[in-house]
A and B are shown apart, each in its own frame.
Chain A
Amino acid sequence: MKSPPFEYHRAGSAAEAAGLLGELGFDARILAGGQSLIPLMNLRLAAPGHLVDITGAPDLAGCGANGGGLHIGAGARQRTVELHADTLATAPVLADAISNAGQVPVRHQGTVVGSIAHADPSAEMPAAFKAQGGTVTAQGAGGTREIASEDFFEGYFTTALEEGELVTAVTVDAWPAGTGHGFLEFSVTAESWPIALAAVLIHTSGGAIDRASVVLGGVAEVPLRRPEAEAVLVGAEPGAEAFEAAAEAAATGIEPLSDSFGSGAYRKKLARVLTRRALTTAAERAGGDA
């Protein structure tokens, strides 16, 4: 199928993009890589009247370490971020997430910010971003504001962005040395959409976990933080027993929906398995400093 017709606009800067969004109203969407949006348009499941292309805006390009965190501009391509030394150093859970997302040619074109702003609850990048934590910078006609990653995802493909706002960048907060991460997803084929995924970080100190983050994807309407699991982990000694208990806690109380890929019950089971295994990997990576 072919995309429905639309008007194409090119923004030379974030401000110009925000201006265009304000001017064009609800019928306008931001076009970055388009790797989530265009497939939907080609299926005629999305039909925006206007697309504002931001990939030519110099102030939205770029990716790199920024004051201890990782700054990712809205124009930065997934593959660039995935392979960037600063990502590997500062946010390896995000690098793992990206490497699991789509195929390499799609990642050449797609953007990290675009995927996060698309807010698919089954997608890799939103979950990894939320797991590590950080800030979304939004710009609208009224200026810019910062939204914490914790508050950004509100529902299925729905975020805290207001009409007329675009995400200009995200910043991923750094975790201290001694942090280990795990990112695991389960998909039926190597290239198919994940049924469920787990993004975790743990920090150990003096042989015990003193900070933990557990986020699941594919099990709820948003990338789902599992505070119950984190509570089990913090203070515990890293190991099979703690991880099994945390996985149990992570999968308890969630009510995933069913679709053609898998039932809610299966997703729940996967959530538990993936959490346990991701924590095990995270502990190995954190181990050096434990």
Chain B
Amino acid sequence: MTVPEVRQHPEHLEWVGKSIPRVEDPKFLRGRGNYIDDYEVPNMLEVAVARSTMAHAKILSIDTSAAEAVPGVVAIVTSENVTDHVNPMPDFGPSPDKHTWYCLAVDKVRYMGEGVAVVAATSRAIAEDAAELIEVEYEPLEPLTDLLEALEDDAPLIHEALESNIPFQRNFTFGDVDGDFAAADVIVRDTLWWGRSGGQPLETVGAVADYDAATGMMTIHVNSMSFTHFLFLLANTLRVPSNKLDLQPHPSGGSFGAKFFEVKTATIAAMMARITGRPVKFMQDRLDNIANGDHHGSDRYYEVELAAKADGTLLSTRYKVVDNYGAYIQFGVGQHGNSLAQAVGPYRMSSIGYDLTAVLTNKCQQGAYRGFGSEVGNWILERMVDLMARELDMDPVDIRRMNFIQPDQFPYFIPTGNVYDSGDYEAVLNKTMELSDYKGWRERQAEMRAEGRHIGIGVCTCQERSVFSATEFWFWFDEPVAAPVTSAPESVTLKVDAMGAVTATLYSNASWGNSPETMVAQFVAEELGVEPEDVSVVYGGSNQGMPATGPGGSRFTIMVGGAVEGASQSIRAKAAKIAAHLLEANEDDLVWENGGFAVRGSPDQRKELAEIALAAHMFKHSLPEEIETGLEASHVQDHPYTTMPNPERTNLGVFYPFVGHASHVVVVEVDPETGRVEFLDYAAVHDCGTVVNPRSVGGQVIGGTVQGLGSTLYEEFLYDEDGVLRTPSFAEYLIPSAMDSPTLRVGHNETPSPYTPYGIKGGGEAGRMMAPSAICAAIDDALGIRIRRLPATPERIVEMVDAKD
């Protein structure tokens, strides 16, 4: 693909840009959300999973006799016979045959909480009663949780077939790294750790599967799996033909990535439905979700070097990163594509070295979590920029400002090959400084410090890439690779019925707490001149559906915007023909305005969309023969801007091109004796191009910031050295409450993308991608320490203070 055309965005938009109330909300406010656990069918069974109590062990035998005897138990599948029923799970990892995973552990368990058996019974409680009675005999193996130990030659092997614990290792060089380091006046080095947190939506993952033996159709109601165009992979796992698998989406009670590709729950429900011949519900409980949900976030160790000139000009960064993927590696190292998409941040740097090692250990495997690895990259880079500022005795704001990519340099290609479409970083920074009263806070800080208070101010300037390209799945490997996919579609069907009412059908599972229905309603209103609240938004099941990828990587609003735009063009094109006939005018003389066609220069001569629709549906014989009855159009929007990587992988091509930006300024007060961090002020200005619904984006920024705060200060899936999960519930895995969360002042800057509908850039992961950098800088500033490991728990903060004294 070549570079897309630069768009001319309309100057006036009627609906895009307005904070209309969300279309989704009334059903949620009334408690009628139709969440997956609200869905029940007659004769339905429920399942519970018996989970491994060991971190690493061979399964010697499984005795289900006591469990089978429990009244109400209908079927049990265990590690010993699961491969009779299903194929391995979908796996985008480096060598799926060497780190194969099934919906239950096979032969050995690789983390505490991995499933060893599944019970289907007439109620969830009975299924749990039976699961407790399943006796598993284990031969314990040496547990391995530490990522550096995993690299050692004598480390226990997680997957014997792999013959090491390293499923992926590659040293990438983008640009003249050695040359830039040789030319540097100053090099700062550090070792940094990012702890493993996760989305932990309040609703867990669930599925209700029903297998019709007569037709062979497997229908699964789900609140996970946004995409539909990869469903053939799940069909393969379930051993059903791809055209006999139908997914019916339900709104998700939050995901943040954690339900993005959660396929195991649906697989287990479907497997048990086929075995029992009855509908089966599997609703994870919280322990399932934390211990066995396949969606822990990044867990990384870095050795980083940043090179600069004496005046603060940044030149190059060298990363050596080891990522602890846990027991399996379902997405490969995609989390690092997200880092590489914006590896230089908003700064002009001409080269990047990225030496990446993935390791496997006895932890639950990683999945997506808001940022999908780019939030880690942002934190690392901003930590290093702060270190450089300290080294050069520069103001952290000044060093950032002087290195910004300038507005006239866009589109700007970074050394990895990705492009930043547009931006105005200085404008964002200036707005943030103003919004936060940065200067005023520096003055107040001096006064408060004089009173003995530990006040810190932190600043960050970070990127937010949006709309991933599928090349990111495979550019890690030398060609030929198994599936060098390039499609990442999103589809919509718009139907204007005989009364002129519009129904939009979406084909991905799009409702995750974002605002897909509101976005679509605003776009349809913009394109077809109807009121947003009059647009009906529905979801098509996958089997009747069109290719769609759904939310993820901040892609949905842009992609569905393109789909609505395309479908609307088709509808208007057909409507123009009809209107021309009805008005007895030449089609070329018609203009589309305010939801109808008028004859140019004669505004009274017009037909409203409703009139045209009525004719299109009902008056076939009054219209030209070639006009088919009805007024409906579908459009498949694929990635607007993808280019291929080069064979040497010294340039990865364009794969995440719509790049937003944000600056956060945080003021904290830290209690050096306890380590408690309190937020005195928090200002955040984001630029995600044209904003469709400012209140909604504001909500994403605030919510994402609070999640980032959690990852920064305490959220962590903690395994001890024996592989015991120490945070199996919300009593230990701590989520910020209202009293832990700052009140944000949010500002927007709008630098429209030249390549997307209306100039939108993705903004859904914002907040979490910035907060860790700004908060750590503020804590450092308050105490004169340097945070190198997240989460920076109160205890770790106290330790750093003590180490300083």
Q: What is the CA–CA distance of A262 and B727 in the complex, to the nearest angstrom?
A: 12
Distance (whole angstroms) from the CB of A105 to the closest CB of chain B: 13
- Of B343-351, B440-448, B469-477, B733-741, the one touching chain A: B733-741
Q: What is the CA–CA distance of A270 and B798 in the complex, to the nearest angstrom?
A: 10
Q: Is the CB of B734 within 8 A of A189?
A: yes
Q: Is the CB of B729 within 8 A of A43?
A: yes
Q: What is the CA–CA distance of A2 and B128 in the complex, to the nearest angstrom?
A: 7
Chain B residue contacts of A4, Cβ below 8 A: 128-129, 132
Is B151 an interface residue when CB atoms closer than 8 A count as contact?
no
Q: Is the CB of A188 within 8 A of B673?
A: no
Question: Which residue in B729, B732, B735 is a CB contact (below 8 Å) of A261?
Answer: B732
Q: Is the CB of A2 within 8 A of B737?
A: no
Q: Mark B736-770, 1 if CB is under 8 A from A, else 0.
A: 11111000000000000000000000000000000
Known A2-B128, A43-B287, A260-B726: A192·B731 in contact at CB below 8 Å: yes
Q: Is the CB of B128 within 8 A of A193?
A: no
Question: Which residue in A1, A2, A190, A193 is a CB contact (below 8 Å) of B740?
Answer: A190
Q: Is the CB of A186 within 8 A of B795?
A: no
Chain B residue contacts of A1, Cβ below 8 A: 128, 285, 287
Chain A residue contacts of B713, Cβ below 8 A: 188
Q: What is the CA–CA distance of A189 and B714 in the complex, to the nearest angstrom?
A: 8
Q: Is the CB of A5 within 8 A of B736?
A: no
Q: Is the CB of A188 within 8 A of B737?
A: no
Q: How many A-B residue pairs have CB under 8 A?
A: 60
Q: Is the CB of B674 within 8 A of A270?
A: yes
Is B676 an interface residue when CB atoms closer than 8 A count as contact?
yes
Distance (whole angstroms) from the CB of A211 to the closest CB of chain B: 27
Q: Mark B704-744, 1 if CB is under 8 A from A, else 0.
A: 00000000011000100000001101011011111110000
Is A7 an interface residue when CB atoms closer than 8 A count as contact?
no
Is A269 an interface residue when CB atoms closer than 8 A count as contact?
yes
In the complex, chain A residues 2-35 whose Cβ is within 8 Å of any chain B Cβ = 2-5
Known A188-B734, A192-B734, A260-B732: A44·B128 in contact at CB below 8 Å: yes
Q: Is the CB of A191 within 8 A of B737?
A: yes
Main secondary structure of the interface of A (DSSP, over half): loop
Is A175 an interface residue when CB atoms closer than 8 A count as contact?
no
Is A106 an interface residue when CB atoms closer than 8 A count as contact?
no
Distance (whole angstroms) from the CB of A208 to the closest CB of chain B: 27
Q: Mark A265-288, 1 if CB is under 8 A from B, else 0.
A: 010011001000000000000000
Distance (whole angstroms) from the CB of A216 to the closest CB of chain B: 15
Is B617 an interface residue when CB atoms closer than 8 A count as contact?
no
Is B361 an interface residue when CB atoms closer than 8 A count as contact?
no
Q: Quick one: which of A1, A5, A190, A191 has the most chain B CB within 10 A?
A: A1
Q: Quick one: which of B737, B740, B794 has the most chain A CB within 10 A?
A: B794
Is B124 an interface residue when CB atoms closer than 8 A count as contact?
yes
A47, closest chain B residue (CB): B132
Distance (whole angstroms) from the CB of B44 to the closest CB of chain A: 16
Q: Is the CB of A188 within 8 A of B718?
A: no
A39, closest chain B residue (CB): B731
Is B182 an interface residue when CB atoms closer than 8 A count as contact?
no
Is A66 an interface residue when CB atoms closer than 8 A count as contact?
no
Chain A residue contacts of B673, Cβ below 8 A: 269, 273
Known A1-B128, A3-B125, A259-B726: A191·B739 in contact at CB below 8 Å: yes
Q: What is the CA–CA distance of A191 and B125 in the complex, to the nearest angstrom?
A: 29
Known A1-B287, A263-B795: A186·B735 in contact at CB below 8 Å: no
Q: Is the CB of B737 within 8 A of A190?
A: yes
Chain A residue contacts of B125, Cβ below 8 A: 2-3, 5
Is B651 an interface residue when CB atoms closer than 8 A count as contact?
no
Q: Is the CB of B128 within 8 A of A262?
A: no
Is B696 an interface residue when CB atoms closer than 8 A count as contact?
no
Is B237 an interface residue when CB atoms closer than 8 A count as contact?
no
In the complex, chain B residues 93-144 whose Cβ is within 8 Å of any chain A Cβ = 124-125, 128-129, 132
Q: Mark A166-199, 1 if CB is under 8 A from B, else 0.
A: 0000000000000000000010111111000000
Known A5-B129, A192-B734: A260·B739 in contact at CB below 8 Å: no
Is B511 an interface residue when CB atoms closer than 8 A count as contact?
no
Known A260-B718, A269-B798: A2·B124 in contact at CB below 8 Å: yes
Q: What is the CA–CA distance of A260 and B714 in the complex, to the nearest angstrom?
A: 11
Chain A residue contacts of B795, Cβ below 8 A: 262-263, 266
B726, closest chain A residue (CB): A260
Q: Mark B794-805, 1 if CB is under 8 A from A, else 0.
A: 110011000000
Q: What is the CA–CA distance of A201 and B245 in the complex, to the nearest angstrom?
A: 68
Q: What is the CA–CA distance of A163 and B732 in the complex, to the nearest angstrom?
A: 32
Q: Is the CB of B676 within 8 A of A186?
A: yes
Known A3-B125, A5-B129: A189·B287 in contact at CB below 8 Å: no
Is B522 an interface residue when CB atoms closer than 8 A count as contact?
no
B738, closest chain A residue (CB): A190
Question: Which residue in B128, B729, B736, B798 is a CB contact (below 8 Å) of A266?
Answer: B798
Q: Is the CB of A260 within 8 A of B793?
A: no
Chain B residue contacts of A2, Cβ below 8 A: 124-125, 128
Q: Is the CB of A273 within 8 A of B674?
A: yes
B791, closest chain A residue (CB): A188
Q: What is the CA–CA distance of A5 and B739 in the complex, to the nearest angstrom?
A: 37
Distance (whole angstroms) from the CB of B724 to the closest CB of chain A: 10
Known A260-B718, A260-B727: A189·B793 in contact at CB below 8 Å: no
Chain A residue contacts of B799, Cβ below 8 A: 266
A2, closest chain B residue (CB): B125
B716, closest chain A residue (CB): A260
Known A1-B287, A259-B726, A266-B798: A189·B128 in contact at CB below 8 Å: no
In the complex, chain A residues 67-114 whose Cβ is within 8 Å of any chain B Cβ = none
Q: What is the CA–CA distance of A189 and B718 in the complex, to the nearest angstrom?
A: 17
Q: What is the CA–CA distance of A191 and B731 in the complex, to the nearest angstrom?
A: 9
A1, closest chain B residue (CB): B285
Distance (whole angstroms) from the CB of A3 to the closest CB of chain B: 7
Q: What is the CA–CA distance of A189 and B739 in the complex, to the nearest angstrom?
A: 8
Chain B residue contacts of A39, Cβ below 8 A: 731
A274, closest chain B residue (CB): B674
Q: Is the CB of B718 within 8 A of A186?
A: no
Q: What is the CA–CA distance of A266 and B128 in the complex, to the nearest angstrom?
A: 38
In the complex, chain B residues 247-295 whose Cβ is within 8 Å of any chain A Cβ = 285, 287
Q: Is the CB of A44 within 8 A of B735?
A: no
B710, closest chain A residue (CB): A189
Distance (whole angstroms) from the CB of A82 to the closest CB of chain B: 18
Q: What is the CA–CA distance of A188 and B797 in the complex, to the nearest angstrom?
A: 12
Q: Mark B662-700, 1 if CB is under 8 A from A, else 0.
A: 000000000001101000000000000000000000000
Chain B residue contacts of A270, Cβ below 8 A: 674
Q: What is the CA–CA distance of A38 and B799 in the complex, to the nearest angstrom?
A: 37
Question: Which residue in B714, B727, B731, B735 is a CB contact (below 8 Å) of A193?
Answer: B731
Q: Mark A39-83, 1 if CB is under 8 A from B, else 0.
A: 100011000000000000000000000000000000000000000
Q: Mark A189-227, 1 if CB is under 8 A from B, else 0.
A: 111110000000000000000000000000000000000
Q: What is the CA–CA distance of A273 and B737 in the complex, to the nearest angstrom?
A: 24
Distance (whole angstroms) from the CB of A248 to the closest CB of chain B: 14
Chain B residue contacts of A192, Cβ below 8 A: 731, 734
B127, closest chain A residue (CB): A2
Distance (whole angstroms) from the CB of A260 to the closest CB of chain B: 4
Q: Is the CB of A190 within 8 A of B718?
A: no
Q: Give 7 CB contacts A-B under 8 Å.
A: A4-B129, A44-B128, A44-B132, A186-B676, A189-B740, A190-B738, A273-B673
- Add 10 more A-B contacts to A39-B731, A186-B794, A188-B713 (CB < 8 A): A1-B128, A4-B132, A189-B734, A189-B736, A189-B737, A190-B737, A259-B726, A260-B732, A262-B794, A262-B795
Residues of A with Cβ closer than 8 Å to B?
A: 1-5, 39, 43-44, 186, 188-193, 259-263, 266, 269-270, 273
Residues of B with Cβ closer than 8 Å to A?
A: 124-125, 128-129, 132, 285, 287, 673-674, 676, 713-714, 718, 726-727, 729, 731-732, 734-740, 793-795, 798-799
- Top 7 nearest A-B pairs by Cβ distance? A190-B739, A2-B125, A260-B726, A266-B795, A191-B737, A273-B673, A1-B285
